[in-house]
């Protein structure tokens, strides 16, 4: 049964826009956390469809004429691909699996961009067979390998991923625009220029532009402004030295979101205005045609639309801490263990005690590092059976989940206007055992 609740949730920036609260419970898309947990079990990922669509539309309004390709690595399923296709988005994929799912879900090949620092021959063949719009070249050896696979009398559009030498992102593990890392080709060392010339020399390849990706969870437009300055200077050099004018510039993604109260997401309207202004000014400086922009947001589209629900199993007091252990953990959300990520945690389903206490929310997996949220405030009467909700859970959680300890991955349920539907079903023990052949030799 759906319930209409009128009160906006506190810390609204970190919750889906449809979230409302009443008497200690939350509704998302018109459905309460209690009814969702009872119907689908926990752990559970809830994704607000309308929030995703509204965010897509906000991007399109802010960036008219810009090609927008959703970064599939953030989260991908067939239902989501349908929403994105209907909202005029393309897809950025980086594996044969993501490519296969995208095309199965009806995304036109020309709206797909294939990435990857180490693409296999099978992945390149699949991209060619399915007619992807662009393949992003990440290393010199890939240029000849791809060219050899293109059918006679055909040409494949490609971009060259370059490294502008700009560090940006919330953690060193997700900064990809600086020198001396596995992605892209250095502008400063001359590798990028050499790759463009090699690609231009291949009759079966059609270089259309440059691609760069600075990192993830970036909250300020400043790194992109610096990147635009570097990339336009490089484009002007290609024209002046070799007569090459590339018509496209892909600035990647990495647009930051809010995970906790007081944090602020990247302002997409300010990003759009500032980047366009910088691009026009720099191109005018070099008398260079303004290239067509492409951006690849991922986390910013689905992250704020998702909520993770967990059931409390154990409350344990030690000499120095109170541990609240839930039925999920690092296998379904590895971000805290990988990056030290911190998120909001809230008791839902009932009013809590007036007083709070500092606790550490941990998972059920056999690792002492299985911590979802360290030193957070929860009502002092939190107890086994309670529901906890963690917002901003729609990106880089389900997509990075594992089956550690042979525990299946949680389902993803879409909600909208008081209705729900399963996008990804829960992975059961039978699914996990099905891969084991039982062979003794």
- Domain holding 317: CATH number? 2.40.37.10
> Is residue 2, in this structure, part of any structural domain at all?
no
Cis peptide before 43 (omega within 30 of 0): yes
Query: Does any domain span residue 440?
Result: no
Kindly report the backbone phi and psi dihedral angles of residue 374, in degrees, each rounded to the nearest multiple of 5, phi listed first.
-90, 135
Residue 348 and residue 414 in one domain: yes
- In the set 56, 212, 283, 366, the catalytic residue is 366
Q: Are residues 154 and 197 in the same domain?
A: yes
Asked if residue 439 is part of any domain, the answer here is no
User: Using CA of residue 137, residue 140, residue 142, residue 146, what is the dihedral sign?
Assistant: positive
Q: Are residues 411 and 332 in the same domain?
A: yes
- Residue 149 is predicted with a pLDDT of 97
Distances (CA, A) of 217 to 210, 337, 349, 431: 22, 16, 31, 33
Domain identity same for 114 and 209: yes
* C-alpha distance across the termini of the chain, in Å: 53
**1 belongs to a structural domain:** no
Helix (H, G, I), strand (E, B) or coil at 46: strand
The average pLDDT across 417-424 equals 98
Q: Within this chain, do residues 281 and 340 fall inside the same structural domain, yes or no? A: no
Tell me, what's the pLDDT at 173?
46
Torsion, CA 372, CA 376, CA 381, CA 383, rounded to 10: 10
If we measure between CA atoms, which residue out of 180, 184, 114 comes closest to residue 149? 114
The structure tokens listed for 389 are 């909700």
Closest CA to 147 of 206, 99, 210, 197: 206
Domain boundary among 303, 326, 360: 303
- pLDDT top residue among 355 and 10: 355
Contact 92, 72 (CB under 8 A): yes
Residue with tokens 């951006």: 295
Give residue-wise pLDDT tens across range 76-121. Answer: 999 999 999 999 999 999 999 999 999 999 999 999 999 999 999 9
Share of the chain residues as helix, strand and coil, in percent rounded to the nearest 5: 35, 25, 40
Q: For residue 181, is pLDDT > 80?
A: no
42 and 67 both lie in a single domain: no
- Residues 150, 195 within the same domain: yes
Residue 286: count other Cβ atoms within 10 Å of its Cβ: 14
Q: Considering the domain boundaries, does residue 359 fall inside one?
A: yes
Question: Whole domain around residue 400: which residue ranges?
Answer: 7-48+306-434
Measured distance CA(89)–CA(157) in Å, rounded = 19
| Pair (59, 180) in one structural domain | yes
Which of 261, 287, 303 delimits the end of a domain? Answer: 303
> How do residues 325-344 score in pLDDT, each as one tens digit?
999 999 999 999 988 889 99
Tokens of 395: 């990106």
Residues 298, 302, 303, 304, CA torsion sign:
positive
pLDDT at position 441: 57
pLDDT band at 172 (very low <50, low <70, confident <90, very high): low
Q: Is the pTM of this model over 0.85?
A: yes
Rounded CA separation 98/133 (Å) = 15
Query: Residue 152 contacts by C-beta under 8 Å, 6 or more apart in sequence?
Result: none
pLDDT of residue 174 exceeding 50, the answer is: no
Assess whether 296 and 188 both reside in one domain. Answer: yes
The closest alpha carbon to 356, from 366, 346, 364, 342, belongs to 346
The last residue of one of the domains, among 251, 279, 303, is: 303
Residues 316 and 341 in one domain: yes
Q: Mutual orientation of helices 191-200 and 140-149 as an angle, nearest 10°?
A: 10
Q: Are residues 163 and 206 in the same domain?
A: yes
Q: For 280-303, what is the mean pLDDT? A: 98
pLDDT average, residue stretch 190-215: 96
Active site (annotated) includes residue 366: yes
- Tally the domains of the chain: 2
* Residue 92 within a domain: yes
Q: Residue 123: which CATH number?
A: 3.20.20.10
Is the Cβ–Cβ distance between 22 and 268 less than 8 Å? no
Judge if 40 and 168 occupy the same domain: no
The SS3 assignment for 331 reads coil
């Amino acid at each position: 049964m759906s319930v209409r609740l009128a009160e906006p949730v506190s810390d609204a920036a970190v919750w889906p826009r449809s979230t409302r609260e009443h008497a200690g419970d939350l509704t998302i898309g018109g459905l309460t956390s209690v009814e969702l947990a009872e119907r689908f079990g926990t752990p559970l990922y809830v994704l607000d469809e309308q929030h995703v669509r509204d965010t897509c539309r906000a991007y399109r309004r802010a960036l008219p004429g810009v090609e927008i390709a959703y970064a599939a690595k953030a989260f991908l399923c067939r239902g989501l691909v349908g929403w994105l296709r209907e909202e005029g988005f393309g897809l950025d994929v980086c594996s044969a699996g993501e490519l296969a799912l995208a095309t199965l879900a009806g995304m036109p090949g020309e709206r797909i961009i294939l990435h990857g620092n180490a693409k296999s021959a099978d992945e390149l063949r699949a991209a060619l067979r399915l007619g992807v719009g662009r393949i992003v070249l990440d290393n010199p050896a890939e240029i000849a390998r791809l060219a050899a696979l293109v059918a006679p009398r055909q040409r494949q559009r490609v971009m060259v991923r370059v490294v502008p030498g700009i560090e940006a992102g919330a953690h060193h593990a997700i900064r990809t625009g600086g020198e001396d890392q596995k992605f892209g080709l250095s502008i400063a060392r001359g590798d990028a220029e050499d790759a463009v010339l090699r690609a231009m020399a291949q009759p079966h390849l059609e270089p259309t532009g440059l691609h760069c990706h600075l990192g993830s969870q970036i909250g300020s437009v400043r790194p992109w402004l610096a990147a635009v300055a570097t990339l336009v200077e490089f484009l002007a050099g290609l024209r002046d030295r070799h007569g090459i004018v590339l018509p496209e510039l892909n600035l990647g993604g990495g647009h930051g979101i809010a995970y906790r109260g007081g944090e602020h997401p990247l302002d997409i309207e300010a990003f759009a205005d500032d980047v366009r202004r910088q691009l026009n000014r720099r191109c005018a400086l070099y008398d260079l045609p303004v290239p067509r922009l492409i951006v690849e947001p991922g986390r910013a589209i689905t992250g704020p639309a998702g909520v993770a629900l967990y059931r409390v199993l154990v409350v344990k007091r030690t000499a120095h801490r109170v541990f609240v252990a839930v039925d999920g953990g690092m296998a379904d959300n590895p971000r805290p263990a990988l990056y030290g990520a911190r998120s909001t945690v809230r008791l839902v389903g009932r009013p809590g005690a007036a007083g709070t206490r500092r606790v550490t929310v941990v998972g059920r997996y056999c690792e002492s590092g299985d911590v979802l949220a360290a030193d957070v405030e929860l009502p002092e009467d939190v107890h086994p059976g309670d529901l906890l909700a963690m917002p901003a859970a729609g990106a880089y959680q389900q997509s990075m989940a594992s089956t550690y300890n042979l525990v299946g991955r949680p389902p993803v349920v879409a909600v909208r206007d008081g209705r729900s539907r399963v996008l990804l079903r829960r992975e059961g023990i039978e699914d996990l055992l099905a891969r084991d052949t039982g062979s003794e030799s």
